[in-house]
Structure 1
Amino acid sequence: MAKYKRILITGAAGRLGSRLRGGLAHLADTIRLTDVNPIADLGPNEEFVQADLDDLDAVVAACEGCDAIVHFGARADEDKWQVILHSNIIGGYNVYEGARRGGAKRVVYASSVHAIGFHKIVDQIDAHAPHRPDSLYGVAKCFMEDLSRMYFDKFGLESVCCRIFSSFPEPADRRHLWSYLSFDDCVRMVEASLRAPVVEHTILFATSDNREKGFDNRLAGHIGFHPQDNTEPFRAAMEAATPEIDPKLPRFRFLGGYMTELPHPDDAKA
């Protein structure tokens, strides 16, 4: 018997959401997908509800009847304030409010390293470290982590906030040697977050089983996430591509990498 009757995946047409569809299918009788873009290739236990995260009524309707929500929707990079506000902050609130109204038991949220991007790599922080966002995108992730904490403390809605570092088909630069999360490990992470008997409100640092670590993940040990991939097959090529590292550059010192060096997005020329 499936653990869940219906799981909702937001951002189901996106880079990671599209991977989660098949990977989580065995955990529920029905996988409901939502995205602002249409999805036509539905599987045998999938259903689709088109919704803009900025539309509270549409999101509440998408959450109805779902006992778990995997929230991977919204803007996935730095952008102008109005984009971040509506897509990531208001949209994220709408998801949690939809979860509360619909009676969901648990949310697995795609948070980000950029919520703590201005901590130094050498600090080896854990989940008790304070927020230090490196961008407006990171500020939105901080807001959502705090919002999810309030929804657990006040309403009993459990959350796992997965601070994803770098999740792409393959590592693309030297930083990814330690920050990379493979697509398969991303699916394993979300499945573990859904299967764990009790999560309350958990912060989980999300990378594959790479040689170097920029964090201490012991406070999420109860989730049971055991990544199986690593970046060793890519090491020689990545180190050859960046033979010299300038320790003065923020991208090499801080967890947030290149985003610590970006200007304010609203200052960019049209």
Structure 2
Amino acid sequence: MRVLVTGAAGTIGRAVTLGLLDRGHEVVSLDRVPEPDGNETPFHTVDCADADAVAAVFAEESLDGVVHLAGHPDEANLPDSLASHVLTTAALLDAMVEHDVPRLVYASSNHAVGRTPRRELLTVDARPRPDTFYGVGKVAAEALLSLYADRYGLDVVSCRIGSFLPRPETVRHLSTWLSPDDGVRMVEAALTATAPGFAVLYGISANTRAWWDLEPGRALGYEPLDDAEQFADTVAPAAQDDEEAAHVGGPFATPTYYRPALDRLA
């Protein structure tokens, strides 16, 4: 497949780009930052919130799918969160419809359900319970993806990513870790699954202590191979562990992240 990867210069973007290339796919890279040193793919310096610039990329490149990883990865006010996660997704979806690109894989987040109390294995049928405006942006983007899947027949897979890191660093990560290798496996499965329509999966590795159900991902061909438990002996307990385990969003569900939706002058 010839795939556009947005946010290609970011941490997960670099891993996914290299992983897809290793698996024989062609990658076209897009990011709002300049082309990084060592890049070997066609690279477009474009802000995904600029619909005209996005459309121009689609007009120039022949694409089979999109992996949308771009977006501010932390909390912001509500307008900025919606712009970063929803408006960028809208620009891509409109360009996909215009240029007959049928497949999108979206980097959603566990924070779309982060305010869910931590009790038992969480399924994709759980209602959205965002823990932050970041999470609200991911929920709204998922709703937009659902609309375009129903309206235009696009195949879209929303990957609610846990903790994408080289290795787990906290006790919570032993449950939420997504290894770089499994991240690539997840994206490729979402790109190549047969007619998923609108689908949601949880983006974590095969963790012994997993908080989220992996079966929806397996139904799409995602078979994670790594397990955070191999690092359990290297992760030291910390004072905040119990607080971070109270909700599936961990620290994002704590008062540290409470803020008004709108920034106003005093």
1:53 aligns with 2:48: yes
Q: Hey, what does 1:252 align to over in structure 2? A: 245
Q: Hey, what does 1:173 align to over in structure 2? A: 170
Deviation at 1:82, TM superposition (A): 3.3
Map 1:65-104; keep pairs closer than 5 Å. Answer: 65-104=62-101
Call closer, same or farther: CA 1:16–1:265 in 2, change over 3 Å. Answer: farther
- Distance in 2 (CA, whole Å) between partners of 1:142 and 1:244 is 27
Call closer, same or farther: CA 1:94–1:20 in 2, change over 3 Å. Answer: same
Q: Hey, what does 2:129 align to over in structure 1? A: 132
Map 1:177-216; keep pairs closer than 5 Å. Answer: 177-216=174-213
Q: More displaced, 104-113 or 213-222?
A: 213-222
- Distance in 1 (CA, whole Å) between partners of 2:159 and 2:30 is 20
- Distance in 1 (CA, whole Å) between partners of 2:122 and 2:202 is 10
Aligned residue pairs, count: 260
Map 1:225-236; keep pairs closer than 5 Å. Answer: 225-236=222-233
Q: Hey, what does 1:120 align to over in structure 2? A: 117
Q: Give a deviation string over 1:186-226, Cα, whole Å, max 9, x none.
A: 01110111122221111001111111121223234321111
- Distance in 1 (CA, whole Å) between partners of 2:221 and 2:26 is 24
- Distance in 2 (CA, whole Å) between partners of 1:74 and 1:203 is 19
Call closer, same or farther: CA 1:149–1:27 in 2, change over 3 Å. Answer: farther
Q: Give a deviation string over 1:122-181, Cα, whole Å, max 9, x none.
A: 132211111000000000100111111111111011111000010012212110001000
Q: Give a deviation string over 1:77-118, Cα, whole Å, max 9, x none.
A: 111233213222211211111222121111010000000011
Q: Hey, what does 1:34 align to over in structure 2? A: 30
Residue identity matched to 1:157:
L
- Structure 2 SS opposite 1:16: helix
Q: Of residues 140, 151, 154 in structure 1, which corresponds to 2:151?
A: 154
Q: Give a deviation string over 1:4-52, Cα, whole Å, max 9, x none.
A: 2x21000000010011111112556631100001114332xx2111101
Call closer, same or farther: CA 1:105–1:233 in 2, change over 3 Å. Answer: same
Call closer, same or farther: CA 1:21–1:266 in 2, change over 3 Å. Answer: same
TM-score by length of 2: 0.91
> What percentage of residue pairs aligned between the two structures are identical?
33
TM-score by length of 1: 0.89
- Structure 1 SS opposite 2:26: strand
Segments of 5+ residues of structure 2 without an aligned counterpart are none
Q: 1:8·1:70 contact (CA, 8 Å) conserved in 2?
A: yes
- Distance in 1 (CA, whole Å) between partners of 2:219 and 2:58 is 27
Q: 2:20·2:26 contact (CA, 8 Å) conserved in 1?
A: no
Q: 1:63·1:102 contact (CA, 8 Å) conserved in 2?
A: yes
RMSD over equivalenced CA pairs, Å: 2.1
Runs of 4+ aligned structure 1 residues displaced above 3 Å come to: 26-30, 243-246, 265-270
Call closer, same or farther: CA 1:47–1:209 in 2, change over 3 Å. Answer: same
- Distance in 1 (CA, whole Å) between partners of 2:133 and 2:120 is 23
